[in-house]
Structure 1
């Protein structure tokens, strides 16, 4: 921990430029070293190059300064009620996990680290929580970790002692949010990405120094989410002309969202929409409905090639613990009643788990390949 503290402190001070790499995946490490230019000259302002969690192709590396990282840590402390000690349960080479470490160091506390190289085991939470010092205690989980923790009573008791539990990395189903809050957990849903130094919107409200803009909104106010402010990266190390950073100080996301009464709601991703029979289906909208079924533990909607429709909507379902998966007829009836017939899946696939990428996000490309 001594070496980690030294390196993290140097990163926050901007004394050197760092690229976090995974310890357990030599192929990923090699890929990142090769494409993100380890050892090659870097912008003098850059303190951190962190890879994005894309699904295919050459990884992109978001370049952050000491100032963007400090702004994120300070804004987070303000939003949560003050600085505190953090419990690390996420891979530290991704921005969410790295930020847990940096926020704790910035608060003057050593983070307590849970080894997740072999997966997340909620049974370790009680001892890990007891090891935390300081008047305020925080942690960050992805939805699949939160779901596992809620099924483990000792873990729930440990998490009740935290002043805030950030939940992000992927969309958190409303039913999971309700279950967590009903269990007495102080969860905070987050939205952000590597390009914004992690979460910069908490419970739909931008952190201090962050601005939200919706570009090209439709009649319902839904459009492309653009984020600006003090936590936005300089750009991509290996993609200097990428259009997402075409406007200095702003990052153009691939997400579709709407702001109502000052609160941002993410509808889905522009690049994941399913075109079926000339109509557009946003997978996340359908998933939010299907996730309300008690027998559904997790689900993901994708489009598969169809000669007649172009794409047909299908859903992969992970049954809730101890439950049988709902039938296709049950799912279709539930979706049609709440959305429309064209959004209802035409097939259901029952899986033990969903393929993931990065910190808990569904790997839709891998899922489509699996289902095809």
Structure 2
């Protein structure tokens, strides 16, 4: 069996995983395949041995086309423990998009699981790299090593504003993140984690890395579907993560019930009061957590299970916040105006992209209320300047999302000759056959917000463009050239 050698005094993620799975209990379960903890480590050692044969530059991240599977977990563990950190990429991106990301790396090799061999070949040709198709992983006695400052893995930002940017994750900081998130989610050897976020996202591999460090039994799906959720339910999973839109889908389908689920972690958007109440009806004992963060560092803050229970008992305003600073996190609001809104900065041992003083510059705008709860006002780059007045899209969206006739909504700014920018709303109606009247939505918004924040045009759409993290991709919001409904 492959072993682990840890050098340095600080704990490494590789060491945490190796200690957690030094047993003969089930560790991963995908379809008919089940590996014990020792089998997982042996396959990880085999993956490390295979990576050694590829002539890779030590310490250089290796781009990989992989989906959540037992082999993918072994590859990540083996890569972290051999000085060949994996950098999973989005398999739903086009070859041209992937080639641009691969070209930005120093690696001359692109890994591809067999099911992505064709895509890998296309990307390799476009990027001038060599593709290596992952073989059947065998066991090995190769030692898994790791030092605190070596890279364990590399994830990429979601790319909502352009080319995804790499976020290097050191052994030390990934271990720190695993400890913080593991405690918040209550993950341990008796847990069964099952997720459906894409493997290359922080909500995918990022959460799986936490479960691995905790020694949990792990399964997963390549993408979210109602049918996939029922499979996770039938398997008896105890922990999962999703975005609120997924939860809404399950509730609408009448399939949200889950008798064994202990913790439901979500992020990317607030959950509605009505959605929370129906979730508790379907899963009475579930612990709900809203974790605010990003690939570069998470969690920054957390809305705890206790906060959610208070919200459903009457303090619904808590659901508009993202909670208070997570354990070990220092938060400041940089450059705040008279309204207290500024850029959220955070400092913690589990953040990855930081400045010389240890601060993560989130790019998100927010304010801290007197009771310590953090409220978001969107990305700094999303802010609309209408006639010299600042409009924060998230503030308008949060209000409109509470309207009973609105299922989903996004607000953006469009050029205006007189005002510079003006405000436009894209609304997914709760009942497509009977959408709310634009005038009704305008009055609803004006009664609660200043006039300059009220959208001047309203477009009813079937859905909103979102990335795999559930965040709206605003650059893809476009007003129709003709037709549609506006006011």
Partner of 1:337: 447
Q: Specify the SS of the correspondent of 2:172.
A: helix
Task: Establish whether residue 274 from structure 1 lines up as the match of residue 384 from structure 2.
Answer: yes
**Aligned 8 A contact 1:111 1:132 in 2:** no
Aligned-partner Cα distance in 2 for 1:29–1:174? 39
1:1-372, aligned counterparts within 5 Å? 1-10=69-78, 13=81, 15-27=83-95, 28-39=97-108, 45-83=150-188, 84-116=191-223, 120-132=224-236, 137-153=238-254, 155-158=255-258, 161-173=260-272, 176-181=275-280, 183=282, 184=284, 185-196=286-297, 198-203=298-303, 204-233=323-352, 235=353, 245-260=354-369, 261-321=371-431, 324-368=434-478
Contact 1:46-1:63 at 8 Å conserved across structures:
yes
Give the equivalent residue in structure 2 for 1:242: none
Alpha-carbon offset, residue 152 of structure 1? 2.2
Query: Which one is further off, 67-76 or 164-173?
Result: 164-173
Alpha-carbon distance, 1:264 to partner: 1.7
Cα drift, residue 92 of structure 1: 0.9
Distance 1:95 1:146, change over 3 A: same
TM-score by length of 2: 0.67
Q: Cα 1:220–1:366, aligned 2, differ >3 Å: closer, same or farther?
A: same
User: For residues 214 and 230 of structure 2, what CA distance do their matches in structure 1 show?
Assistant: 22
Partner SS for 2:151: coil
Between 1 and 2, higher relative CO (CA 8 Å, sep ≥ 6) is seen in: 1
Cα distance, 1:323–1:247 mapped onto 2, change above 3 Å? farther
Shift in CA distance, 26/44, structure 1 to aligned 2, threshold 3 Å: farther
Report the Cα distance in structure 2 between the residues aligned to 1:371 and 1:146, rounded to whole angstroms. 33
| SS of match in other structure, 1:8 | helix
Equivalent residues of 1:8, 1:102 under 8 A apart: no
Query: Take 2:481 and 2:468, find their aligned partners in 1: how far apart are those partners?
Result: 21
Tell me the secondary structure at the aligned position of residue 361 of structure 1.
coil
The Cα shift of 1:11 comes to: 5.4
Does the aligned pair in 1 maintain the 2:149–2:171 contact within 8 Å? Answer: no
What CA deviation, in whole Å up to 9, does each residue of 1:270-326 have, x standing for no partner?
A: 111111122111111011111111111000001111122211111000111566221
**Structure 1 unaligned residues grouped into runs of 5+:** 236-244
CA distance in 1, matches of 2:473, 2:201: 16
CA–CA separation in structure 2 for the residues paired with 1:96 and 1:335: 33
CA distance in 1, matches of 2:276, 2:481: 29
TM-superposed deviation, 1:206: 2.7
Which residue number corresponds to residue 308 of structure 2?
A: none
SS at match of 2:257: helix
Larger radius of gyration: 2
Q: CA deviation at 1:176?
A: 4.0
TM-align CA RMSD: 2.5
5+ long unaligned stretches in structure 2: 1-68, 110-147, 304-322, 483-487
- State the alpha-carbon separation in 2 of the partners of residues 131 and 217 from structure 1: 48
- Three-state SS of the structure 2 residue aligned to 1:362 is coil
